[in-house]
Amino acid sequence: MRIDAVLPKAALWLVAAAACALSGCPGELSNKADFEAYAATHGDAGAPANEAGTSAVSAGSAGTGACGDVVTRIFVPTCSGTGCHGATAPQQDLDLVSPGLAARVVGVQAKQCLQLLVDPANPEQSLMYQKLLTKPACGAQMPLARPALSSADISCVRDWIAAQ
């Protein structure tokens, strides 16, 4: 076989593969309904879908549904991404990524602020929720030196707190 006959086919495959990689070839959705609910909640601007400013997740869903797994989707990349609240030497002894997070934070007094880390009966007063707001009652807004969470993700954290 001549190389000049093979080269055009190889070039075509290379171009097709590059186009696919650059455009983000679609994979398979394991649960199309969850994807659509998440997309509806997060929209282009990341704003919550409903007028009340809350996410579509019910309090009893334990952080699943439209918000997905809040620990995996929000806490792991956002809170431990810079090493702050990961499993190794977490700031304020607050590990937000290891298994058993709820047991470590529900009803637990914060180290420096006079609030509970997570208070399911009053999620808006929980320090973990308030630290995501523009002007928290104690300390600085989280995450430090990173973009603030979208209002939809903040609602998901509030819903996760309420479900604990």
For residue 141, the model assigns a pLDDT of: 95
From the list 150, 102, 89, the residue with the least C-alpha distance to 128 is 102
For residue 153, the model assigns a pLDDT of: 97
Residue 116 backbone dihedrals phi, psi, to 5 degrees: -80, 145
Q: If pLDDT is split at 50, 70 and 90, which confidence band does 127 have?
A: very high
Average pLDDT over residues 57-76: 70
Residue 146 backbone dihedrals phi, psi, to 5 degrees: -140, 160
Q: Is the pLDDT of residue 147 over 50?
A: yes
Rounded Cα–Cα distance for residues 143 and 149 (Å): 8
Q: Is the pLDDT of residue 82 over 90?
A: no
For residue 8, the model assigns a pLDDT of: 54
Task: Write out pLDDT tens, residues 25-59.
Answer: 343 444 445 545 544 444 333 333 333 333 333 33
Rounded Cα–Cα distance for residues 95 and 49 (Å): 30
Cα angle value 29/47/36 (rounded, 5°): 20
Tokens of 3: 């190389």
Task: Write out pLDDT tens, residues 3-16.
Answer: 555 445 544 444 44
Rounded Cα–Cα distance for residues 66 and 58 (Å): 9
Q: In whole numbers, what is the pLDDT of the chain averaged over residues?
A: 73
For residue 72, the model assigns a pLDDT of: 93
Q: Is the pLDDT of residue 1 over 80?
A: no
For residue 113, the model assigns a pLDDT of: 92
For residue 24, the model assigns a pLDDT of: 36
Give 77 or 30, the one with higher predicted confidence.
Answer: 77
% the chain with pLDDT above 70: 60
Rounded Cα–Cα distance for residues 142 and 145 (Å): 8
The string of DSSP codes covering 114-148 is SSBSB-TTSGGG-HHHHTTSSS-SSS--SSTTSPP
